[in-house]
Amino acid sequence: MRLRHYPYTLELAHAFTIATSSRTTTPAVLVELEHDGITGYGEAAMPPYLGESQESAARFLNLFDAAAVTDPFKLEEILPRIDALAPGNTAAKAALDIALHDWIGKKLGVPWHRIWGLDPAKTPVTSFTIGLDTAEVVRQKTREAAPYKIIKVKLGRDTDRMMIEAIRSVTATPITVDANQGWTDRNEALKKIEWLATQGVLFIEQPMPKAQLDDTAWLRERSPLPLIADESCQRLADVARLRGVFDGINIKLMKCTGLREAHRMITLARALGLKVMLGCMTETSCAISAAAQLSPLVDWADLDGAVLIKNDCFDGATIVDGRITLSNQPGIGAVKRPG
């Protein structure tokens, strides 16, 4: 097997602002694994808070001895070895995981949702994300989100009420809220959630800092809306300890090292009675299409990462009438655009 990787900078259509940061680009590394005349594609998308960079991803990928892989089907041997190469580097690990899954699906001639036995008609609607901004820009972005059935809004600063009121001045579309750990006082958080429950909000994602699990559990007991873990839930080992603290978890390939672990996290969450959300970073249609293969298994999806960028270099899963639509392309369902 031959490995190729190269940096790629994702250019956002709008500045993306959350409670802790703002950016207009996202660094990424694109991966190709070639074997028997077939190329599998993967992607590491790395917003700054992940702690990874194009340079760190390249260093990690260079640790992987692709030439030693003689049978790419042996995922249960290959992927644990990749995970053990170095701590962290979850996005870089996800890029290799995605590329291996893509190669296997292409070799078999079928998409992964079929390999998992999933019904593509059961994909959920996906939300459209609106970052923190001025009321005027929020209203503009809300109008752009008209085809979507759910709007996801970033909160966590002192503009929370303005953000919601700006959206509600334009649309009655249901909203999900991501506070990105922005609320640090549980009593204030409860007051915010009680008000949000009157504004057509479906659930709250990561209301409090990930270190404040006791406060979050207190909040969950009193909250009129479900609480979903994001920063508190990175990998499989995190899932069980979040039972009783959150009502559900948000799984992202870039956090959990890819499709293999994401599938296991969904299975465990279901066994524990937790709801499941499938999320993303700003990503090309490579990583988005990979995550979309799992989407028939989840309650909610936030897979709008590719529509938030201006320079997508792949075609893949699409959003039709607000719903994720899977193609019959083999592998992860993504095709690299020429050029």
pLDDT band at 19 (very low <50, low <70, confident <90, very high): low
Radius of gyration of the chain (CA): 19
Q: How confident is the model over 223-244, as a mean pLDDT?
A: 98
pLDDT tens-place string over residues 259-306: 999 999 999 999 999 999 999 999 999 999 999 999 999 999 999 999
The CA-to-CA distance between both ends of the chain, in Å, stands at: 24
Q: How confident is the model over 173-199, as a mean pLDDT?
A: 97
Q: For residue 73, how many C-alpha atoms fall within 13 Å in the half-sphere facing its CB?
A: 6
The residue that leads in pLDDT, 67 or 339, is 67
Q: How confident is the model over 218-224, as a mean pLDDT?
A: 98
Set out the domains of the chain in order of their start, with CATH numbers. Answer: 2-109 (3.30.390.10), 114-336 (3.20.20.120)
The residue that leads in pLDDT, 223 or 132, is 223
Question: pLDDT value at position 262?
Answer: 98
Query: CA distances (Å), 99 to each of 46, 257, 258, in order?
Result: 17, 12, 10
pLDDT tens-place string over residues 70-127: 999 999 999 999 999 999 999 999 999 999 999 999 999 999 999 999 999 999 999 9
User: How many whole angstroms separate alpha carbon 88 and alpha carbon 161?
Assistant: 36
Q: How confident is the model over 32-45, as a mean pLDDT?
A: 98
Question: pLDDT value at position 152?
Answer: 96
Exposed/middle/buried for residue 156 (C-beta within 10 Å: 0-12, 13-18, 19+): buried
How many Cβ atoms sit within 10 Å of the Cβ of residue 49?
13
Question: pTM score, two decimals?
Answer: 0.95
- Provide the residue type at 156 as one letter: G
Residue carrying structure tokens 């506070």: 179
Q: How confident is the model over 65-70, as a mean pLDDT?
A: 97
Exposed/middle/buried for residue 45 (C-beta within 10 Å: 0-12, 13-18, 19+): buried
Query: CA distances (Å), 113 to each of 270, 290, 295, in order?
Result: 18, 10, 9
pLDDT band at 339 (very low <50, low <70, confident <90, very high): confident
